Structure 1
């Protein structure tokens, strides 16, 4: 289901110069106006002057001439990053919380959605539901106290980017393109997080004085540099109607190949718990504020586990929900181990 924009979308612009990006507040657009702007930029950027003659200058011919391939766009993007010869300015409607706009997925609060597509309203793949699924610990977090439960709706254009970063609290991320051009993702496994940060400090030593920037970089970094340091970098192309899943603690970056609309949200199954504990300890070292209470999620889950296992003992019956608690509560289960670590970790 496509999102409806009856209001202006505020977009951010950035200029690429030397080895960094600069962000500024940009103008306001409605979706159709922004699509026209994005399509015009892409067409003008990639068309070659010697391809345009008086005999072939028509809209159909221009469209064929100016539609570059994904490898062409990707090559040009990294040329701009690695060997900048000019300043490029693009717009990006970034991380618009869906409480302030319409989600691209059906909403339980919209009677029309409930009537038209009830199966999608309740689906776990509906990003409005994903953070609060039964197996996601974020369901113990309050919507009033944390915006991390809300999907973020974004509008992109050719070359608009999200830079290398780890999700807040090293949470899982699920991303979906509603419509438009593909996105190109790059990822470094969480097991190579420290090596990634060492490589960034080596090549950009000015960031060493600001360790929190390594969690949410304001700098783009070429995959070729990372691979030269022995760091594995994985790439995927996300097309419309496809999901991309980012695992906990993984550095990732992406950029858009043209006008598109996408949405993303965090969630936290039980196997996230050790990653969440690592994030809490890291934030403590960096004197950085947390976005969610790890202890609250942990204790709420433990309390529910005690209730569920107590009812199971009385009923002496098994269900899918009961088997979940049996998996996470033994001595080596995720919940039990996380409780032990939290209890014995230094304040």
Structure 2
């Protein structure tokens, strides 16, 4: 495995007050990694009363069926019926690994057994946010350029967060975010997530590799990687000379994925995460040039002229968000 970890940041209480400014700061220092981990100030809590009382519905569970060989895989998602939280938790707990396994052993086990014992992932649940209201970095209340450019529009999973209930071996395939946006993921509780990310400077090499191994998919859709069905192992990336970085995402930590960066990962056991997209001023030009999947009628679209006008109007109102500056 590639052992080059992504950068880790520890914002002060003062820095934690301005999300957008802090994102500009850490991107300037870690863009070459594609992602960064942020560990909040010690006194900060996402949910002060804990998680014993939660009961979110898993609205879109999917079974992930994997086929392929030698580090090149395709994942088919089979929709399952809506699940209650307690039922999913019971299912996930039955799949737990030996707690004494190291992260490296868990990674080896994942890639060795990726085709077997398909997992159910409670992804993209548009139910509730688990953050306390009026809490810094509450993902349902993030003050940032994307929110100001869309307001009052709400797009599920884009500027409103999704919950993700994971179990051992449930995964998310290689992809960039919709519209090549930034994303932020907070792990509320449970077992870690293992992330892999390719900096955007390697995109062309990675895309050529995928186009070679998935020629039929590429012939049908030039943006087939947006279908989130392609899985390629780190060993294949290494053999192709493609730089990537990894991260172990623990409860209470944020993972930030920068614009245009391919990423994938898997869950080491039962856990609960929350994620949403965001943007900084660096994204506007990207949003105007982004290549979209044309075969999916539900592919997210934003009229950038309308976006820029809303952004101007909303930031000129009585209490505009301060523009991000390098902190």
TM-score normalised to structure 2 length:
0.73
Paired position in structure 2 for 1:31: 85
Question: Could you list the runs of 5+ residues in structure 1 that have no partner in the other structure?
Answer: 44-64, 107-120, 312-318, 329-347
Paired position in structure 2 for 1:74: 107
Cα distance in 2, alignment partners of residues 320 and 149 from structure 1:
16
The higher relative CO (CA closer than 8 Å, separation ≥ 6) is in: 2
1:1-347 aligned within 5 A: 1=47, 2=51, 4-5=54-55, 7=57, 10-18=60-68, 19-43=73-97, 67-81=100-114, 84=115, 87-97=116-126, 101-106=127-132, 121-130=133-142, 133=143, 135-142=144-151, 144=153, 146-147=155-156, 148-209=158-219, 210-279=221-290, 282-283=291-292, 289-303=299-313, 321=322, 324=323
Contact 1:16 1:22 in 2 (8 A): yes
By percentage of residues, which structure has more helix? 1
Deviation at 1:143, TM superposition (A): 5.0
Number of residues of Structure 1 aligned to a counterpart in Structure 2:
268
Q: Is the alpha carbon distance of 1:15 and 1:320 closer, same or farther for their aligned partners in structure 2, counting shifts above 3 Å?
A: closer
Q: CA RMSD in A?
A: 2.9
Contact 2:149 2:309 in 1 (8 A): no
TM-score normalised to structure 1 length:
0.69
Paired position in structure 2 for 1:316: none
Cα distance in 2, alignment partners of residues 286 and 41 from structure 1:
36
- For each residue in 1:38-67, what CA deviation from the matched residue of structure 2 results, as whole angstroms up to 9, or x when unmatched? 121235xxxxxxxxxxxxxxxxxxxxx564
Cα distance in 2, alignment partners of residues 236 and 244 from structure 1:
9
Contact 1:176 1:241 in 2 (8 A): yes
| Max Rg structure | 1
Question: Could you list the runs of 5+ residues in structure 2 that have no partner in the other structure?
Answer: 1-46
- For each residue in 1:317-341, what CA deviation from the matched residue of structure 2 results, as whole angstroms up to 9, or x when unmatched? xx993xx39x79xxxxxxxxxxxxx
Paired position in structure 1 for 2:37: none
Greater mean alpha carbon deviation, residues 267-276 or residues 245-254: 267-276
